[in-house]
Amino acid sequence: MNKYQYLASPITFRGMTVKNRVFLPPMKTNYIYENHKMSDEIIEYYGKMARGGIGLVTTEAAEVDGDHLYDSTILGIFDDSQIEGFKKLADSLHQYGTKLSVQLIQGGPFANSQINGGRMPLSSSPIAHVWNPLETPIEMTHEDIKHYINKYAAAAKRAQIAGCDAIEIHCAHGHALLGSFLSPLVNHRTDEYGGDINGRARFLIEVVETIRETVGQDFPISVRLSADEREEGGNDVYDTCYIARLLEKASVDYIHFSNGTLYDVGTLLPPTGTPKALNTIYTDIIKKAVKIPIGCVGRIKEPWVADMLIEQGRLDIAYIGRALICDPEFVKKSFENNFDDIRPCVGCLTCLATSAAGIFMHCTMNPAVANQKLADIKEAPIKKNVVVIGGGPAGIEAATTAAKRGHKVTLLEKFNILGGQFIIASYPPVKQELSLGLKYLIHELKKTDVDVRLNTEATIETIKALNPDEIILATGGQVKMPAWIAESVHPNVISAWDIFKGKKHPGLNVAIIGGGSVGCEVADFMSDHHNYRAIGGRKITIIEMQDNIDSTDYTANRDFLMTRISHKPITVVTSAKVSSITESSISYIKDANEETLNGIDTIVVAMGTDPNNALAEELEVLNIPIHIIGDAKQPRKIMTAIEEGRETAINL
Ligand X SMILES: Cc1cc2nc3c(=O)[nH]c(=O)nc-3n(C[C@H](O)[C@H](O)[C@H](O)COP(=O)(O)OP(=O)(O)OC[C@H]3O[C@@H](n4cnc5c(N)ncnc54)[C@H](O)[C@@H]3O)c2cc1C
Asked if 320 is part of the footprint of ligand FMN (rule: CB under 6 A), the reply reads yes
Q: Tell me the three state secondary structure of residue 387.
A: strand
H-helix or E-strand spanning residue 644: helix 638-650
User: 3-state DSSP helix/strand/coil percent for the chain, to nearest 5?
Assistant: 35, 20, 45
User: What, of ligand X, ligand SF4, ligand FMN, none, does residue 420 touch, CB below 5 to 8 Å by kind?
Assistant: ligand X
Q: Measured from the CB of residue 297, what is the shortest distance to ligand FMN in angstroms?
A: 4
Question: CB count, 10 Å around CB of 249?
Answer: 11
User: Which residue lies nearer to ligand FMN by CB, 73 or 426?
Assistant: 73
Q: Could you say which residues in the range 124-153 bind ligand FMN, by CB under 6 A?
A: none
Q: Which residue among 25, 109, 344, 420 contacts ligand FMN (CB under 6 A)?
A: 25
Q: Which residue among 73, 82, 124, 421 contacts ligand X (CB under 6 A)?
A: 421
Q: Measured from the CB of residue 444, what is the shortest distance to ligand X in angstroms?
A: 15
Q: Which residue among 145, 201, 458, 597 contacts ligand X (CB under 6 A)?
A: 458
Do 619 and 466 contact (CB within 8 A), yes or no?
A: no
Q: Which residue among 364, 400, 541, 609 contacts ligand SF4 (CB under 6 A)?
A: 364
Q: Which residue among 325, 411, 576, 626 contacts ligand SF4 (CB under 6 A)?
A: 325
Asked if 204 is part of the footprint of ligand FMN (rule: CB under 6 A), the reply reads no
Which listed range, 302-310, 351-359, 369-377, 628-636, lies at the site for ligand X (CB under 6 A)?
628-636
Q: Which residue among 29, 73, 350, 612 contacts ligand SF4 (CB under 6 A)?
A: 350
Closest CA to 438 of 608, 647, 638, 273: 638
Q: Which residue among 365, 412, 418, 628 contacts ligand SF4 (CB under 6 A)?
A: 365
Q: Measured from the CB of residue 406, what is the shortest distance to ligand FMN in angstroms?
A: 35
Which segments of 130-192 does DSSP mark as H helices, in order? 142-161, 176-182
Q: Tell me the three state secondary structure of residue 135.
A: coil
Alpha-carbon torsion (367, 368, 373, 374), positive or negative: positive
- Measure the CA–CA gap between 444 and 377, rounded to whole angstroms: 14
Q: Tell me the three state secondary structure of residue 578.
A: strand
Q: Which residue among 55, 476, 515, 516 contacts ligand X (CB under 6 A)?
A: 476
User: Which residue lies nearer to ligand FMN by CB, 19 or 256?
Assistant: 256
547-553 CB contacts, 8 Å cutoff, 24+ apart: 547/574, 547/575, 548/574, 549/515, 549/516, 549/519, 549/520, 549/574, 550/515, 550/516, 550/517, 550/519, 550/520, 552/516, 552/517, 553/353, 553/517
Do 197 and 234 contact (CB within 8 A), yes or no?
A: no
User: Which residue lies nearer to ligand SF4 by CB, 436 or 511?
Assistant: 436
User: Which residue lies nearer to ligand FMN by CB, 39 or 103?
Assistant: 103
Site for ligand X, rule CB under 6 A: 348, 364, 389-395, 412-415, 420-422, 424-425, 457-458, 474-477, 497, 500, 518, 521, 612, 615, 630-632, 636-639, 641
Site for ligand FMN, rule CB under 6 A: 25-28, 60-61, 103, 170, 224, 258, 269-270, 297-300, 320-322, 351-352, 355, 361
